[in-house]
Structure formats: structure tokens, C-alpha cells
Amino acid sequence: MDTVSGNAGMSTRPVPAEEALARATAILDAQPDAALAQAQAILEKMPGLPPAELLVAQALRRMGQPRAARDQLAALSLRHPRVPAILWELAQAARDAGNVDQALAALDRLTRQQPGVSGGWFLMASLLRRAGRTDDAWRADLSGVHAAARDRDLLDAAMAMHDDRLDAAEAMLDARLARLPDDPSTIRLLGEVHWRRGDMVRALALVERAVDVAPGFDLARDFLIRLLLQNNRLADALVHADILATSPLKNPGYDLIRASVLVRLGDQDGACAIYRHLLAQKPEQPQVWQNLGHALKTLGQQADAVHAYRQAVSHQPAMGEAWWSLANLKTVRLDAADVAAMRGALATLDSDPAERQEDIFHLHFSLGKALEDAHDHAAAFRHYDRGNRIRRTMIRHDAAEFSAEVAATRTCFTSAFIARQGAGGCPAPDPIFIVGLPRSGSTLVEQILSSHSHVEGTMELPDMMMIASRLASRVDDGEFPDFATMIASLTPADRTRLGEEYVDRTRVHRHADTPHFIDKMPNNWQHVGLIRLILPNARIIDARRHPMACCFSGWKQHFARGQAFSYDLDDIARYYRDYAALMAAFDAAAPGHVHRVIYEQMVADTPGEVARLLDYLRLPFEDGCLAFWTNNRAVRTASSEQVRQPIFTDGVDYWKHFAPWLGPLEQALGPLITEYPPKSALS
């Protein structure tokens, strides 16, 4: 225990006895037998000296004689019932002797006397759990966490961490763990220090340990779920979310985090049930209404989604994301009253622009969409431009650094390099990757293919990007001098293991018994070479759209996450150039390995393009692929409503309405415009 009042209340003796006790106490943990001998020698001279009797019991417990220690401590506690050190030792000795009830009785007395000492509560929780009293154990853990929140050592470490003095915080916490190796509050806080450093492996291990030590530590479990989500360990996250939802501390936030896990797993119905339950109890929750709208939109229940979003803005009129969610339905048009309401909301935010930037840029994107629908293209462009400029200041994207990474990948995966690697990789033919830029028609391709009886549509899966990032970190950490050397070091067995890892990690998203599934993460174009090495039988589809249409559409679309290049016309043009160059290089290195779908050709000749696509995938033609809009599967992307309608041609050249303001984009794209579609797509 950390800070019990040692021998408070015991009688004192002359200084030599105190010195002898101090010497014996100093060797107690390392040499309990020697400490016992010294304590007994003191008692021979001073029979009944309480500190010496306590020391005898402490030594006996450490020597593996818990029953003898318990008996001595029980007698000592009767004579000195208000000495915390005696009660603490009695609890541990009774526990070690197998007498849980006696241990709990001692801890009950101890925590009543010193409720601010967390160790007593945590030990009580572990014993209550052993006795099958789960709810009481949970509450004891919560009491321990509450007590730890006032601990000076932990407060100092937390302040150092929040001040970004991570080394100092770690040193404080390591010192505390040396004294208290199983203190869950210290372990959890140390996990957060490592998370802030970017060491996710160490952070996860520590926070998992904190939850193992104190299963009722709700805040640690909440943090663990968030870490698991960041690492895409969705099944594990759901296990912990299910546990957290049963906490005796009824916190709606725990229901919300469980709903977020269900959303990530594709269980939109389960998430909707949670949101509706929370709203039935307390309807004036704009964030919950918005979350419900997101889930309903994914399920294709547009009218209900609109209602949910409008409920959100009725409770919080300046809630920019809810307004954008309405505008982002694409098939919904915001009217003049909505425009007036959004302009009014912007006016209310002018007094505190720094704190409300997210609401402000969302409102600008929403006004851009509303005014575009009203054919006021000049005003729409001004709002899109303002929203993008604000958003660009809030994210980090180094276009030159990214171009250099793409160039390194492009020069690595040559035909000679691929040939030298030889056989290897996981032979599974299951994955179908759809890559490209956002707003390129990839959701349309996904919807067409997921309407085939042999193919399951999942979502934009992060797993390949996570594998690639882990490999790239080996270069960043200095293990390899460059990207090509690192990739070349992968043995056939390594590549097989990585491919199997991808298939295993994505299995949680597969709910249908189909031979193929789709991974529609567009950014995977950066990793087509890696996919070729670790999943040689996977199919890759490049969804390509006219560069002006694609870049402009991406620029006026606010993405929830992951597309940091899209908030500046020059950045997005450079990104498109990098993408086109890498895909052209890979076409030359592995001819025919990637199938390209040109959006404009798919719109003009859907049956012919679908037939070509299915032929590439070696799948029989099915009429359902041409009636893709009847597929009621969940769709999470910005095009979710558009792919629930038959193909229309209105959007092909829509960017031309904004041509007067897109000169810089056209100039930045250069010859990619005149050379579109690429020659390889026409062969």
C-alpha cells in the first residue's frame, strides 16, 4: 500500500529500538528471515512492542507462512483496531491464507478509516471478485480510481504529461510502479504517456494490464476501446464495449462508444437501437441525433436520416456537422430557409471563431452545396473556398514529402524487381481492391460488384494501409536505408505471413458466404505493388474519373477523415498527378494486373463496362449487377444515396459550371487533362 499511517498510535521506545526496527524493516522484502530474527530479538528485550510484532507478522507472510502471520495480526488488530498498517497486513495475510471473508472484513475497516488510499479499494475489489460479488467488486474498483484521482504523485505525473513533459511523467510513474507494481491507475497513466509518444504497442499492453488488474476501472476500459479502434482490433473492442455497457456506473457515454464500435463493424441496426434508446430517455441530444442520422443514411433510410439531422440542428442551430450531413446526402436540396438559418448560425459564431472552427467550416461547405443546388455558382464557390481554407489550416499535409514517398514506391516496383521477388505471398483470391481518388466513381463500382452473388461489399478497410505503415516505419526507425531495401528484404515467407494477416484482419467484416469481398479504401492505390507481393491472386480495380471533375468534386467534399490532400486545389492536383504516375508505372511493370474503370465510359455504356469488369474478375455475368440500385446493402461513403438510383449523366461535366474559378486547378493538372483517358484504359 502506498501511504498508510505506518505505526501511528503505537507506543514508542528508546531510540536504539527504533533504529533496530528501521534496520529490520529495510531488509524486510529482500531478507524476510533476517528481518524476522531481528524483530524477535527486539521482542525478547521489549515484549509486546507493537511495531516489532507487526514486523514479525510481515516477515512471516513474506516467508510463505500466511496463516501464522494472519493469527498474529488478528490478535494485534484487536489491541490496536485503528492502525491502518495492521489492517493492511491482515488483509493480505488472510488473503494468502485463503480466508477471503476475514480479508474483506479487514479491508472494510481499513477503507472506512482511510478512504483516500486507492490500494485498499483495489485489493478489496479483487477479493470481492474472487467471492463472486461482481457488482460490489466493480464499485470497489471505482472507489479506488476515485481515490487515486486525488493522489499527489499521480496528479504531478498527469500535469507533466499534459504539459508535454513526457520523460518527466514517465520517470515519476516508473518510480511509483517500482513501489506499487500492480497499481492500475499508475499503469493506465503510463499507457497514456506511451500513446502520446506514438508507441501504440506499449500503450495497448499497459492499458490492457490496467484493466486486467482492475476490471471495474471504467475509464481505463474506455481508453482501451479507443486504442483498439485506432488499431482496427474491432472484435476485441466490442468485447470490452459489451463489458463497459454493464457498468453499475450508468454512463450514456459507454453506450455511445459501444455504438461506435458497432458502426465500425457494420452493424448499423445495432447502433441505431442504442441511439434510439438514449433519445427516448433524453431527446434533446443533438450529437446523438446526428449519430443516428449517420447510421440511418448508411442503411439507406434517407427520410429518417433527414429527420434525425434536422432534429440535431433544431436542438443546436449552429451544429455545422449536422448541416453538412444534410447537405452531404446529395439527393437532398437545402432551401432558402435553410440558407438563412445557416447564415444566421455563422453570424452567431463570429464572436468565438477560434473555438468553433469545425462548426464554421462545416457551415461554409453546407452553404456551398445549398447555393450550388440553387445555381448560384459564384457564391457557392466562395463558400467552398472559405471552408477549404479554414480546414487546410487545421491539418498537416506536406505535398512534397508525400510526392517523394510515392516516387520511392514507383521506382521500387519495376518489372525486374517484381520478377526478382519470385513466388510468395498468400494465395487467397478473396480480396477485390477498388482504388483511386475519392469521388472517382469507386462507390458505383463497389455497388455494381456487391450486387453479384459471388461478391460481398464491406467498406473502406484500413488494414492494408496499416500493414504498409508498419513496414514504412522500419525505414523511419533506421532499420533500412530506404523503401526499396526494406521491401526487398521481405522473404517469401514474410510476404505470405503479411498476406495472411490481411485476410485474417478483414475477416471480421465478412458476413456473407461469398468467395470474394471488396476493400474499397481508395488510398490503397499507393500500395498496389505491396498488394501484388503479399496477395498475388487479389484483384485490383482502378476507378478513374476525369481529373478536373474528380479533383473539383473532392475539393468541395468535406471528408470526415483521411483525405488531408483535398482542401487545397494545388494539393489535390499534385496528389492526382502522383496517383496517375504511380498507376502508369505499375501498368508498365505488371501489365494487365490492374483493371481500369473509366467513370465516363461506365456511365455511357454500363452493360459493356460491367461485362468487361466481370470478365477481369472471372465472374459470370449476372443481371443484378445492372440493377445495382435495388441492392439495400449499407453504404458509408459520400455517394451512398447516389448509388441507390439508376446511373445518370448529369454529373459527368458538372465541374464546368465552376470553370471560371478553376484555372489554377487546370494549370496544375497540365497534360493529364488532354491525355485523359490514359491509353492503357483504351486497350
Which distant-in-sequence residues (6+ apart) come within 8 Å of 669 by Cβ? 547, 548, 551, 573, 576, 577
If asked whether residues 406 and 308 sit together in one domain, one would say no
Percentage above 70 pLDDT, the chain: 94
What CATH number has the domain bearing residue 465?
Answer: 3.40.50.300
Residue-number span of the structural domain to which 255 is assigned: 232-240+248-313
Segment 239-255 mean pLDDT: 93
If asked whether residues 500 and 604 sit together in one domain, one would say yes
Of 57, 52, 54, whose CA–CA distance to 18 is shortest?
A: 52
Of 56, 112, 60, whose CA–CA distance to 84 is shortest?
A: 112
Which distant-in-sequence residues (6+ apart) come within 8 Å of 482 by Cβ? 408, 475
pLDDT at 636: 47
379 within some domain: no
If asked whether residues 272 and 411 sit together in one domain, one would say no
Neighbouring CB atoms inside 10 A of 601's CB total: 17
End-of-domain residue from the set 289, 313, 337: 313
Q: Is 1 helix (H, G, I), strand (E, B) or coil?
A: coil
Rounded Cα distance, 210 and 190, in Å: 10
Question: What digits encode the pLDDT tens for the residues 305-340?
Answer: 999 999 999 999 999 999 999 999 877 889 999 999
The pLDDT confidence band at residue 644, using thresholds 50, 70 and 90, is very low
pLDDT at 8: 40
Instruction: Print the SS3 string covering 84-107.
Output: HHHHHHHHHHHHHCCCHHHHHHHH
590 within some domain: yes
Could you tell me how many residues make up the chain?
683
Of 3, 55, 5, 52, whose CA–CA distance to 31 is shortest?
A: 55
Please determine, for residue 3, whether its predicted confidence score (pLDDT) is greater than 50. Answer: no
Number of domains in the chain: 2
If asked whether residues 306 and 409 sit together in one domain, one would say no
The pLDDT confidence band at residue 647, using thresholds 50, 70 and 90, is low
Segment 492-517 mean pLDDT: 94
If asked whether residues 289 and 405 sit together in one domain, one would say no
The pLDDT confidence band at residue 253, using thresholds 50, 70 and 90, is very high
pLDDT at 1: 41
If asked whether residues 594 and 449 sit together in one domain, one would say yes
Q: Is 80 helix (H, G, I), strand (E, B) or coil?
A: coil
Strands 455-459, 539-544: pairing kind: unpaired
Please determine, for residue 7, whether its predicted confidence score (pLDDT) is greater than 50. Answer: no
Please determine, for residue 6, whether its predicted confidence score (pLDDT) is greater than 80. Answer: no
Question: What digits encode the pLDDT tens for the residues 174-225?
Answer: 999 999 999 999 999 999 999 999 899 999 999 999 999 999 999 999 999 9
405 within some domain: yes
Span of 4-13, 167-176, 276-285 with lowest mean pLDDT: 4-13
What CATH number has the domain bearing residue 289?
Answer: 1.25.40.10
Backbone angles phi, psi at 667, to 5 degrees: -65, -40
Q: Is 597 helix (H, G, I), strand (E, B) or coil?
A: strand
359 within some domain: no
Host H or E run for residue 542: strand 539-544
197 within some domain: no
Rounded Cα distance, 295 and 307, in Å: 12
Question: What digits encode the pLDDT tens for the residues 446-478?
Answer: 999 999 999 999 989 999 999 999 999 999 889
The pLDDT confidence band at residue 645, using thresholds 50, 70 and 90, is low
pLDDT at 21: 87
The pLDDT confidence band at residue 20, using thresholds 50, 70 and 90, is confident
pLDDT at 643: 47
Mean pLDDT is highest, among 264-268, 337-341, 419-423, 556-560, for 337-341
29 within some domain: no
The pLDDT confidence band at residue 651, using thresholds 50, 70 and 90, is low
Taking the mean position of all CA atoms in its chain, how far away is CA 39? 54
End-of-domain residue from the set 313, 344, 369: 313
Rounded Cα distance, 237 and 226, in Å: 8
Segment 3-27 mean pLDDT: 63
Neighbouring CB atoms inside 10 A of 281's CB total: 9
Scan for cell 489492517, then name that residue: 87
End-of-domain residue from the set 263, 283, 313: 313
Rounded Cα distance, 506 and 508, in Å: 5
CB 416 within 8 A of CB 490: no
If asked whether residues 428 and 575 sit together in one domain, one would say yes
Question: What digits encode the pLDDT tens for the residues 414-436?
Answer: 999 999 999 999 999 999 999 99
pLDDT at 646: 59
CB 473 within 8 A of CB 504: no
pLDDT at 649: 63
If asked whether residues 286 and 410 sit together in one domain, one would say no
The pLDDT confidence band at residue 249, using thresholds 50, 70 and 90, is confident
Dihedral, 134, 137, 142, 143 alpha carbons, nearest 10 = 150
104 within some domain: no
pLDDT at 681: 53
Backbone angles phi, psi at 456, to 5 degrees: -110, 130
438 within some domain: yes
Question: What digits encode the pLDDT tens for the residues 598-623?
Answer: 999 999 999 999 999 999 999 999 98
